[in-house]
Amino acid sequence: MMKKAFVYSLDAFVALTIATLAINLLIYFYSIPTAYYPVLYQCKALATDTLRTLITTDTALGNSYLDAIVKEEGNTEIVDSLIPAQYGYELEVDGKVIASRGEYRKVKASSVAVVVGAEEPRNKGENWYRYKTCKGTMVPCEPLPSTYNPGKVYTSRVKLTVFI
């Protein structure tokens, strides 16, 4: 009698495991919208490429377009020209939306860039490696005091979300 009960409980356990696995697989496969994969990939590539273009393209002032947007010296019309009209976008700097177009309907993808720059120009100062020699060649008495000033540095997080 003991063996029958064990076999029945083991059989019920295996059946329950198989049924649970089948339900989980059905939920997994039907919840992924496979028709949206190409659009999702396109949105991600567009967001990444647009940020890279903004980082690598210089303005007339010599800094990148993204630096100009972060410092609020440049306008965001360049983003409108880089992203096709059928896509919407939202450009955030440090969590604050500064430009947007369209509204989110189906798929959206984001790309993030960190912008680091100088708020004021640095002072190069004296070269630390110029020594006064006391005796002979290359025998330093004491190092010269440095007048190097690194200036003020800012960091900003820029997030571009492209959607359709």
For 45-88, the pLDDT digits (tens) are: 999 999 999 999 888 877 889 988 888 866 888 999 999 999 99
Instruction: Report the pLDDT averaged over residues 4-29.
Output: 82
The DSSP-derived string for 32-92 is S-GGGHHHHHHHHHHHHHHHHHHHH-B-TTSSBHHHHHHTT-S-THHHHHHS-TTSEEEEE
pTM of the model: 0.64
Model confidence at 122, in pLDDT bands (50, 70, 90)? Answer: low
Does 29 or 3 have the greater pLDDT score? Answer: 29
Contacts of 56 (CB under 8 A, 6+ apart): 64
Q: What percent of the chain has pLDDT over 90?
A: 37
Residue 1: inside a domain, yes or no?
A: no
- What is the number of domains present in the chain? 1
More confident residue, 51 or 134: 51
CB within 8 A of 47, min separation 6: which ones?
89, 109, 110, 111, 160, 161, 162
Q: Could you give the CA distance from residue 33 to residue 20 in angstroms, rounded to a whole number?
A: 22
| Bridge partners, 157 (sequence order) | 114
| 109: its two tokens | 């993808």
pLDDT band at 100 (very low <50, low <70, confident <90, very high): very high
Give all strands of the β-sheet with 153-163 in edge-to-edge order.
Answer: 96-101, 88-93, 153-163, 108-118
Give the model's pLDDT for residue 127.
45
| Residue corresponding to tokens 């939306």 | 97
2 in a domain, yes or no?
no
Output the pLDDT for position 142: 58
- Stretch 94-123: mean pLDDT: 85
Q: Which domain holds residue 21?
A: 7-163
Contact 91, 98 (CB under 8 A): yes
DSSP three-state, residue 25: helix
Q: Is residue 29 part of a domain?
A: yes
Q: pLDDT value at position 148?
A: 63
Measured distance CA(91)–CA(158) in Å, rounded: 7
Nearest C-alpha neighbor of 73 from the set 84, 60, 86: 60
Q: Is 110 within a domain? A: yes
- Residue 23 or residue 143, greater confidence: 23
Local confidence band at 39 (pLDDT 50, 70, 90 cut-offs): confident
